[in-house]
Structure 1
Amino acid sequence: ADFLLYVLMDAIVDNYFNLMEVMGEKIEELEENLFEEKSNNDLIQEIHNLKREILKIRRAVYPLREVVNRMDKVEASLVTEKTQLYLRDLYDHVIQVSESIDIQRELIWSLMDMYMTTISNRMNEVMKVLTIMATIFIPLTFIAGVYGMNFENIPELKFQYGYFVLWGVMVVVFLGMLYYFKRREWL
């Protein structure tokens, strides 16, 4: 009976090894999808689902670890000495599975961190472009605002080519700012 118990528990633990291998492949697949340029919005949901699966497995394995440990240490005639050796081996396997679960759990947390980092980097790129565009158009808006006022005493208003000079100044300011941003490698 004790050997039968060992065989059943060993079969369960061996299936956990297979499950850990499948989970490892899922984690690798999610990691590859994360670094694709066009990662989809469902990726965070997949990461959460995988995290929940790992937690379910963890809740199942940790009590098993304690049970096998107690069976190994029990001083009863129900467990023969030959089976005790197998139980020690089984306990080592359970420890390996639980360590594998912990490692994969950490990998999933790092996947979530990487996902948040990539989202943050994308947002930073968008904010950089928007800031550069705003920085370019603020002086142009100021110039257009000054010359859009209804004053008669602005000297350039009487100048025949004042409109074209104003456009020329605005284009030079625009191109100058673009050159400055390119030189600073912001664009």
Structure 2
Amino acid sequence: MSRYLKSSEKNAGKAPDDIVFIGKQKIENSVIRVMDFDSETLEEFEADSPADCSRFINTETVTWISVYGLHDLSVIKEIGRNFGIHTLALEDIANTGQRPKFEEYEDTLYLVLKLLLFDEETEVIRSDQLSIVFGKNFLISFHEKPVDLFHPVRERIRRHKGRIRKSGPDYLAYALLDVIVDNYMIAIEGIGSRIEDLEVTVLENPDQEVLNRITRYKREMNFLRKSIRPARELIVQITKNDSDLIQENTLPFWKDLLGLSTQATEVIDSYREMLSDHLNIYNTSTSNKLNEIMKILTIFAAIFIPLTFIAGIYGTNFEYLPELHFKYSYFVFWGIMLTVAGIMLRFFRRKGWL
């Protein structure tokens, strides 16, 4: 399946309320994890069904529900029905080919973006889609598969660190996006260090393997750019949004996150330009090597042209040729040939062609 565009064949012609899963099933059964907390209490468990989450509707505490596995549409529909998630948002949740975006509905805010991890062995960016819906007292995150990416956030909630237990779902959403953007930087740094190390190899040994690596890194950087640039636009929309679901005291954190996402996009552009420079250096080095080879071949050809002429004259079948019966004609012939070659080599050297 394409990394840039998921097949929408199953979704063609469907009504907006007809939710269709588009993507690759990554786990066998859906998993639902619940964390319900405030400044004093914390409850954490794994729900057997979406019905187990319904008791957290309209509570005074903050409820974070994590749904792993998007293929089970019955789970998504039931949670959406219980918590008043708009049908269009549910449709986007089930489609793993969504472009990062932010949408505002009557009682909820919806955002979708990509989780990006750099595979050190294959040097490929792995991605999963994350959808987040939050309202007045809840936040629901929809994942393609279980990930440990948000373990630090869960630990902060368990250990009552920072302001997360004293804040609302908007701050929890910020905390999740902060982790995501931090991992964007880690992924960029992972592939970026290889791009920087490639510069020496391009200069010293510009072979086919180097060209393959440049092409691969350009492909991964383009994928990063496609995922991170709209994520930055998403954060811009949140900072400019006047919804009551985003508290005034949370906006400075979102604006700080905007600065980090802007830095990520700028670094990506820098590495993309660096790869273009590497490619130009590779092409220049390859052309220079080819020119050196052609110069040597041309010099050899230039030397052998007069020698071939001399050999052609004395290789004819005429009966009467000067010095034909001379005892030392063979050695004189070689002497003339070597003298001509030596004069031409000296001439080329004085011209700086050798």
TM-score of the aligned structures, taking structure 1 as reference length = 0.94
Q: Which residue of 1 aligns with 2:275?
A: 108
In the alignment of these two chains, the number of paired residues is 186
Asked if structure 1 preserves the Cα contact closer than 8 Å seen for 2:203 and 2:281, the reply is no
Structure with more relative contact order (C-alpha pairs < 8 Å, separation 6 or more):
1
Which deviates more, 131-140 or 18-27?
A: 18-27
One-letter code aligned to 2:198: L
SS in 1 for 2:323: helix
Alpha-carbon separation, structure 2, partners of 1:116 and 1:73: 46
* Partner Cα distance (2:229, 2:207) in 1: 34
Task: For 1:91-106, list aligned pairs within 5 A.
Answer: 91-106=258-273
Match of 1:124? 291
Could you tell me how far apart the structure 1 residues matched to 2:329 and 2:207 are? 52
Q: Deviations over 1:12-46 (max 9, x none)?
A: 1111112222222101221121122x444211111
Give the structure 1 partner of residue 26 of structure 2. Answer: none
1:172 aligns to 2:344 (yes or no):
no
In the alignment, structure 2 segments of 5+ residues that lack a partner are 1-168
Question: What's the counterpart of residue 248 of structure 2?
Answer: 81
Q: Does 1:155 align with 2:322?
A: yes
Establish whether residue 139 from structure 1 lines up as the match of residue 309 from structure 2. Answer: no
> What is the letter of the counterpart of residue 44 of structure 1?
L
Larger proportion of strand: 2
CA deviation after TM superposition for structure 1 residue 76, in Å: 1.2
Partner of 2:349 in structure 1?
182
Secondary structure of the residue aligned to 2:243 is: coil
Give the TM-score normalised by structure 2. Answer: 0.51
| 2:176 is aligned with 1:8 | yes
* Letter paired with 2:241: V
Report the AA paired with residue 150 of structure 1: N
- Provide the rounded CA distance (Å) in 2 between the counterparts of 1:75 and 1:44: 49
Partner of 2:236: 69
1:41-60 mapped onto 2 (5 Å cutoff): 41-60=208-227
Of residues 125-134 and 164-173 in structure 1, the stretch that sits farther from structure 2 once superposed is 164-173
Greater displacement, 177-186 / 5-14: 177-186
Aligned partners of 2:234, 2:322: CA distance in 1, in Å? Answer: 94
Task: Between 9-18 and 152-161, report the one with greater CA deviation.
Answer: 152-161
**CA–CA distance in structure 2, aligned partners of residues 156 and 104 of structure 1:** 72
Distance in 2 between residues matched to 1:48 and 1:120, nearest whole Å: 19
Deviation track 1:59-98 (CA, whole Å, cap 9, x = no partner) reads 1101101110100101111111111111111111111100
Match of 1:28 in 2: 196
**Greater CA deviation, 80-89 or 157-166?**
157-166
- In 2, the alpha carbon distance for the partners of 1:155 and 1:136 equals 24
Between Structure 1 and Structure 2, the one with more helix by share is 1
Give the corresponding residue for 1:17. Answer: 185
**Contact 2:238/2:254 (CA < 8 Å) preserved in 1?**
yes
* Identity across matched positions, percent: 44
